Homo-oligomer: A and B are copies of this chain.
Amino acid sequence: MIRLGIIGYGNLGRGVELAASKADDMELVAVFTRRDPATVKLHTEGIPVLKIDEVADWKDKIDVMILCGGSATDLPTQTPEFAKMFNVVDSFDTHARIPEHFENVDRSAKDAGKVAVISCGWDPGLFSLARVYGNAILPDGNDYTFWGKGVSQGHSDACRRVEGVLDARQYTIPVQSALDAVRSGANPELTTRQKHTREVFVVAEEGADKAKIEETIKNMPNYFSDYDTTVHFITAEEMKANHSGLAHGGFVFRTGKTGWEGEHKHVIEYRLTLDSNPEFTTSVLVAVARAAYRMSAEGQKGCKTILDIPPAYLSALDGAELRKRLL
């Protein structure tokens, strides 16, 4: 059995607990939190919840630690820190900062002789795989990534900071005509506005200037000004009843040409439709933890991404079974 630990028990931590419970070759042995452990109630009975300061005592009792903190402030320090003690897996998803995060984690993990796999989830993660395979196979081509329909936490937060807004949820929605154009192999050049629309649901303070809120949101630079945005005002009850879901998804396309005259078009499409973004993300993390365990057992060390992992390492089946049943 591969012994897993969790650091951080929010949506991701709960998802890891769930995914680990479905894997016959893994067991969750401890959960670490910054909160008072007495206040944290796991879904599963009998698994200890401990203060994060106690983690060093578990150095030899955990094979892979799954880091379930956030990318903004937790993981940039946690992953390099805990890679000194454990094989670790994280879901760091700030694309622009991945090279820097990689370097920091690589140093710690190499020094400690551990394997640290960063940025595992669906984007980065499975979408990255689709891009890398697509580019390697169709070097003469174009990449398209669409996200949604799903909630963007960053955009929701930006709306909540607008004066007069009590609560907000922002959905990113791919534009159907853009998807159709890409899928046809037409290799369209698409502007930001042509690829996605944004839809915002706002609970406003009583007496707030709704016209002004709408205008402020729609013209917000970086977040909304390059998009067609629709703003809906709803009640707090409607927000709770209709906008608490965690569904998400998206599309990665690689379109390209072959032939001496480029006469043959090809379209590779990878699509995810997810009822629960955190539960799917953590399903990836747990499969990657299995791979991290195997790479560590082979004597590998340092920072890795899903691009460095032989696909078979993610599976509980052995090579012969995979070749027989899934190849």
Q: Which A residues have a C-beta under 8 Å from some C-beta of B? A: 15, 18-19, 22-23, 43, 95, 98-99, 102, 119, 124, 126, 128-129, 131-133, 135-140, 143, 183, 185, 258-260, 263-276, 279-280, 283-284, 287, 290, 305-312, 314-317, 319-320, 322-324, 326-327
Contact A258 B283 (CB under 8 A): yes
Q: Are A185 and B273 in contact, with the CB atoms below 8 A?
A: yes
Which of B98, B266, B280, B316 is in CB contact (< 8 Å) with A323?
B98
CA distance A9 to B258 in the complex (A): 18
* A267 CA / B248 CA spacing, docked (Å): 11
Known: A311-B133, A323-B99. A269 touches B270 (CB 8 A): yes
CB closest residue in chain B, given A183: B273
Known: A267-B273, A275-B266, A326-B132. A319 touches B308 (CB 8 A): yes
In the bound complex, residues from chain B placing their C-beta under 8 Å from that of A22 are 139-140
* Given known contacts A22-B139, A269-B270, A309-B310, A132 and B322 CB-to-CB distance under 8 angstroms: yes
Can you list 15 A-B pairs with a CB-CB distance of less than 8 A? A124-B327, A126-B137, A132-B315, A132-B322, A133-B314, A137-B314, A143-B326, A258-B276, A265-B275, A267-B272, A269-B273, A270-B270, A305-B327, A306-B311, A308-B311
Listed from nearest, the 9 A-B pairs whose CB atoms lie closest are A264-B275, A136-B314, A258-B279, A264-B276, A269-B271, A307-B312, A267-B273, A136-B287, A131-B326
Complexed CA–CA distance, A308 and B320 (Å)? 12
- Cα distance A276–B326 when bound, in Å? 24
Contact assessment for A126 and B136 in the assembled complex, using a CB-CB cutoff below 8 Å: no
CA distance A306 to B311 in the complex (A): 8
CB nearest to A274 among chain B residues: B266
CA distance A147 to B320 in the complex (A): 25
Whether A137 contacts B269 by the Cβ 8 Å rule is: no
A290: chain B residues at CB < 8 Å are 136
- Tell me, rounded to whole Å, the shortest Cβ–Cβ distance linking A260 to chain B: 6
Known contacts A99-B320, A132-B314, A310-B310, A266 near B258 by CB under 8 Å:
no
Cβ 8 A contact of A137, one of B284, B309, B319: B284
